Chains A and B, each alone.
Chain A
Amino acid sequence: EVQLVQSGAEVKKPGESLKISCKGSGHSFTSYWIGWVRQMPGKGLEWMGIIYPGDSDTRYSPSFQGQVTISADKSISTAYLQWSSLKASDTAIYYCARHPRDVLAGTFFHPDYWGQGTLVTVSS
């Protein structure tokens, strides 16, 4: 069974750093892309960026470039999303999702499996 299990809820202060995780199981972690999606309170889904753990190829949405860092440790089948200095506006649920690989195009297809989400609350 394919599973993406995310780390637990976090409460942080503005200016603090944070790294949340997404651990994959039930599939070959290095053969799929892992993307991150933000959902602010009461709002829709926003695609943030994606990583291919097989070679660490990483791509960001222009809206999130420079705001977050996506990484992965293939030895433990885990992808990460991190912030160096949180803002109150980063308060949201963050989802990871698996994207099958488009070998011909060198990109990725739609997300097919999702993690359960990690709630990040940033408040002074």
Chain B
Amino acid sequence: SYELTQPPSVSVSPGQTARITCSGDALPKKYASWYQQKSGQAPVLVIYEDTKRPSGIPERFSGSSSGTVATLTISGARVEDEADYYCYSTDSSDNHSVLFGGGTKLTVL
């Protein structure tokens, strides 16, 4: 079955650039979106259609995609960016099956 694979954890110091990857065979054909989930809160959309940022999301959040890998980049990470991050996409079948990546815990300290 189709999977989206993320690293379990990423750690950076404040001000550094954090990169979180999401690997999936259908990503060359399908968009990825990214969600931030802080402890005890609902997920929040931070990137959609690989590279687009919703209004209200800081410019330090950006997205890219190349081949089978989508990447969320946080430039100049802040302590308040510490959270779990999930990628989301669909497979390339007619079923339009949806799934989330396993999530990446970002630590900023």
Contact = CB atoms under 8 A, between A and B. Distances in A.
Contacts of A59: 96
Contacts, number: 48
A83 interface: no
A97 B48 CA distance: 15
Given A45-B103, A110-B33, A95 B86 contact: no
Nearest to B99: A47
Contact of A112 (B45, B86, B97): B45
Interface of chain B, main secondary structure: strand
Interface in B32-66: 33, 35, 37, 42-45, 48-49, 54
Contact of B42 (A50, A62, A114): A114
A77 interface: no
A8 interface: no
Given A110-B31, A114-B43, A61 B100 contact: no
Contacts of A112: 45, 48, 54
Interface string B4-37: 0000000000000000000000000001010101
B53 to A, nearest CB: 12
A28 interface: no
B34 to A, nearest CB: 9
Nearest to B97: A61
A15 interface: no
Nearest to A35: B98
Contact of B100 (A44, A107, A113, A116): A44
Interface string B74-94: 000000000010101000000
Interface of A: 35, 37, 44-47, 50, 59, 61-62, 95, 97, 105, 107-117
15 contacts: A44-B86, A44-B101, A44-B103, A45-B86, A47-B100, A50-B98, A59-B96, A61-B98, A95-B43, A109-B48, A110-B33, A110-B45, A110-B49, A112-B45, A113-B45
